[in-house]
Structure 1
Amino acid sequence: MKKIIIPVIFSGLLLTSCASREKIAYYQNIDQTEIVNKKFETKIKNDDLLMIIVSAQDPVAVQPFNLMSNLTVDPTNQAGGGQMQQQLYLVDDKGFIDFPTLGKIEVANKTKAQIVDDLQKRISKYVINPIINLRIMNFKVTVQGEVKMPGMHKINSERITLMEAITLSGDLTNYGKRDNILVLREENGEIKSHRVDLTKADFINSDFYYLKQNDVVYVEPNKVAVNSSAVGPNVSIYMTAISLLLTTTALILTNTKK
């Protein structure tokens, strides 16, 4: 009987073994890591959708510098009502937008503050104390792989960290590799990749701590997940069967001793 129970117990331990703390915990060496506080500002990219509203004390004076709003009709409203929707500026493949009255303006690879300052200087020639409100309307990141809620996340704040994006996805599953997170980023028409180790706090100082619009984060499965998939989709049934077998064997041994 002992020859039977030992391999059964060993198999159960293999299937139910837990990963070590070194492979699970985040920021493990943060006490020994010097965090560099650096200012991060999102830069405008090609294909960004921008909402730019110009206002001033004299609303009539700024009308030539604003796109006309569209009336969006609700088909379910029998009265034919709708609501006004602000038109957006699409950054073209050369990094320009076509601005009313001012014409073509280059915005790609510039921060919001730089664009606002440029527009204020240009419009101040025609309007007293213009106020520029600029927002990126299609800022999004995608998180895939071993997270609890994979998907695309639309970001309203226009700035998000890698850990915030992972948190929006419900955090990593127990099967996600925390020391080899893949970040895909498009820059100047080229796709670049970078690996991030979340178990070491020094990734906070990297250029991939803050995500940029359209970044893709992929969490690879660890060996436990790969081995589980090799066992098959019925691994939970196997685990239950092994547990029952262990319990039954223990009862038989106990009764035999009596």
Structure 2
Amino acid sequence: MKLLKQAVYLLTALLLISSCNSGKKLILLQDQQADALNQQNELIKSFTLKEADYLIKEEDRMMINIFSMTEERFNFLQDRPDVEVTVDSKGQIDLPVIGLVKVSGLTIANAEKKIKTAATDYLKNPRIAIKLLNFNYTVIGEVGRQGTINALDPKINVLEAIGQAGGFTEFADRGNVRLIRSENGKANIYQLNVLEDNLLLSEKFFLQPNDVILVNPTKKRTTNQERLSTISIILSIVTSLSFVLLRFNN
């Protein structure tokens, strides 16, 4: 019986060890020198982010809000301040009364300025706000909620996107995140390491519409699962033998 108890204790210890992960493989945006300083509430490091402003392209769908101080009887948009439009093959959108405005190749901010200029002929002090409706990205693999998500802000980054997908699972390989992006008719795959803080300097830190983020599992996942399965079987056998021996001794 003593040997059986020792076996149970040993297997339990193995079970706990096999489920442990190194802290260094879990902490995001690490900086070894700064971590060693361990300074609280102080600026550790500063990065200049390479924000890639999205350029409007053909077939983009947008919701355009046009607000004006023009008196209601002269304001042709009072009943429809929000206009949903699609960029046509010539890169233009068709707005009520204002007509065609070319916006392809422009950033959201520059498109708002251009529409504002065009609307000034009809409205007093118009204010324009554009929301891109087809800025979707997909997150699959070792995250809490896999799926396709519509970005509310076109300046969303990889970490925010993974957070929106429920964050990493315990088996996520944070040093081997893949970004799949469609560029010039090709599907390009980029490897991102979110364990290192220089990720913030990458041009791939910010997403583009239709990006796919693939979070791979760690290499230990399969090994751990097989080990846990084996340990569970052995524990079941040991437990069964313990009951048999107890009954036999009684």
User: Shorter-normalised TM-score: what interval?
Assistant: 0.7 to 0.9
Per the alignment, do residues 226 and 37 of structure 1 end up closer, same or farther by CA in structure 2, a change over 3 Å counting?
A: same
Answer yes or no: is the 8 Å Cα contact 2:142–2:216 preserved in 1: yes
Return the letter of the residue paired with 2:111. Answer: I
SS at match of 1:113: helix
After the TM superposition, which residues 140-159 of structure 1 pair with which residues of structure 2 at under 5 Å, given as runs?
A: 140-159=136-155
Match of residue 132, structure 1, among 120, 128, 133: 128
The answer to which of 144-153 and 240-249 deviates more is 240-249
Q: Give the aligned CA root-mean-square deviation in angstroms.
A: 3.8
Match of residue 167, structure 2, among 157, 165, 171: 171
The answer to which of 152-161 and 175-184 deviates more is 152-161
The residue aligned with 1:35 is 47
After the TM superposition, which residues 212-223 of structure 1 pair with which residues of structure 2 at under 5 Å, given as runs?
A: 212-223=208-219
Answer yes or no: is the 8 Å Cα contact 1:68–1:87 preserved in 2: no
**Sequence identity, in percent?**
26
SS at match of 1:220: strand
Q: How far is the alpha carbon of 1:173 from its aligned partner?
A: 1.3
Q: Give structure 1 stretches of 5+ with no counterpart.
A: 70-84, 251-258
Answer yes or no: is the 8 Å Cα contact 1:67–1:86 preserved in 2: no
Distance in 2 separating the partners of 1:108 and 1:187: 17
Return the letter of the residue paired with 1:29. Answer: D
Distance in 1 separating the partners of 2:78 and 2:87: 15
Q: TM-score, normalised by structure 2?
A: 0.72
Q: How far is the alpha carbon of 1:115 from its aligned partner?
A: 0.7
Q: TM-score, normalised by structure 1?
A: 0.70
Per the alignment, do residues 92 and 176 of structure 1 end up closer, same or farther by CA in structure 2, a change over 3 Å counting?
A: farther
Return the letter of the residue paired with 1:57. Answer: M
The residue aligned with 1:49 is 61
After the TM superposition, which residues 1-258 of structure 1 pair with which residues of structure 2 at under 5 Å, given as runs?
A: 12=14, 16=18, 18-29=20-31, 31=34, 34-38=46-50, 41-58=53-70, 59-63=72-76, 86-227=82-223, 231=226, 237-243=229-235
Answer yes or no: is the 8 Å Cα contact 1:144–1:217 preserved in 2: yes
Distance in 2 separating the partners of 1:105 and 1:219: 40
Q: How far is the alpha carbon of 1:179 from its aligned partner?
A: 0.9
Deviations 1:73-132 (A, max 9, x none): xxxxxxxxxxxx955111235533233344433323322210111112122233332222
The residue aligned with 2:246 is none
Per the alignment, do residues 183 and 92 of structure 1 end up closer, same or farther by CA in structure 2, a change over 3 Å counting?
A: farther
Q: Give structure 2 stretches of 5+ with no counterpart.
A: 35-43, 243-250
Per the alignment, do residues 192 and 109 of structure 1 end up closer, same or farther by CA in structure 2, a change over 3 Å counting?
A: farther
Answer yes or no: is the 8 Å Cα contact 2:157–2:206 preserved in 1: yes
Distance in 2 separating the partners of 1:223 and 1:177: 8
Distance in 2 separating the partners of 1:217 and 1:151: 10
Answer yes or no: is the 8 Å Cα contact 1:143–1:217 preserved in 2: yes
Per the alignment, do residues 236 and 17 of structure 1 end up closer, same or farther by CA in structure 2, a change over 3 Å counting?
A: closer
SS at match of 2:101: strand
SS at match of 2:174: coil
Q: How far is the alpha carbon of 1:37 from its aligned partner?
A: 4.2
Per the alignment, do residues 197 and 128 of structure 1 end up closer, same or farther by CA in structure 2, a change over 3 Å counting?
A: same
Distance in 1 separating the partners of 2:234 and 2:82: 62
SS at match of 2:125: coil
Q: How far is the alpha carbon of 1:163 from its aligned partner?
A: 1.0
Per the alignment, do residues 128 and 222 of structure 1 end up closer, same or farther by CA in structure 2, a change over 3 Å counting?
A: same
Answer yes or no: is the 8 Å Cα contact 1:96–1:104 preserved in 2: yes
Per the alignment, do residues 205 and 61 of structure 1 end up closer, same or farther by CA in structure 2, a change over 3 Å counting?
A: farther
